[in-house]
Amino acid sequence: MIIRETNDSFIMIKQHDHAFLSGEIVKHFDASIIRSNAYWDELLHASYQHDRSWIGLDTTSVWNDAAHRPFTFSDYPLIPKLVFYTRGIDDISEVHPYAGLLCSLHFSSFFTNTSDPDCLRFLEKEALRQTELRKRLPALDEDLLQEHFTLLQFSDDFSLYMCLNRPGVAKGEEHPWFKNGFKHTEDFNHAGDPLKGYWTGPHDIRISGSPFKHPFTVELFYKEVSKSSILHNGIAKAYDSADLSTHSITISSAGPLAMRE
């Protein structure tokens, strides 16, 4: 679950709904920026499905007593998270080994600076998986794979940008992960700088570098769960009884606009 807290409520977004936005981002990306159109459909599948491991975990929201809010994707208990990560990558790999390889690389990147034994076991198993999946992909272009991996991570980050920020927020008040742009996206920008997003209104985002073929609109699904409902009913019941809402966001090129910092 992705959580954004307000004074009186929590904005709660399921991971699989967030992943759908990632797929839409890749779908509208200007593929001519990438060296080849090989495996594009597999990349698109990976982007739409990369967080399917969270479908089961997000069925019931769980309260984090220490943080006084629901558990989020970043602090959810590690062991069940790793188990479901593995299952999700299993499912994606069964559809196509290339999509599974991309998602295995994506989830492995979360634990590159860890000494936790459970994480290390996960990384070891995924390294073996990646070796086996590569064997099923003859003449694999590793440079193209790296471009696709970077695009998958950009789509994940850009979707999180939409989920974690208050719509319409000024650049200087954005979530700290994104104030300096999207990491490793220099090759997607003819200027050689990281791509940057800018909220220009509650329903509009402009992005530098023109990485998309044309403007497009996405629908962000969320529930706003009141703190008073959680207090009286518990998090699981409060979440279940909250209405499902949508928020439309149109994404277009930044162009020459002077952006708010």
Contact 49, 100 (CB under 8 A): no
Report the SS3 class of residue 220: strand
- Three-state SS sequence of 19-49: HHHHHHHHHCECHHHCCCCCCHHHHHHHHHH
Over residues 199-215, the pLDDT tens digits come to 999 999 999 999 999 99
Residue 190 has pLDDT above 90, yes or no: no
Q: Mean of the per-residue pLDDT values for the chain?
A: 95
Confidence tier at 256 by pLDDT (50, 70, 90)? low
Among candidate residues 78, 152, 63, the one with its CA nearest the CA of residue 122: 78
Q: Are 197 and 178 in contact (CB under 8 A)?
A: yes
Sole residue written with tokens 């529930």: 223
Instruction: Give 191's Cβ-side CA count (13 Å radius).
Output: 9
Q: What's the pLDDT score for residue 249?
A: 98
Predicted pLDDT at 258: 43
Residue 257, pLDDT > 80, answer no
The model's pTM is: 0.95
**Please, which pLDDT band fits residue 254 given cuts at 50, 70 and 90?**
confident
pLDDT at 185 over 50: yes
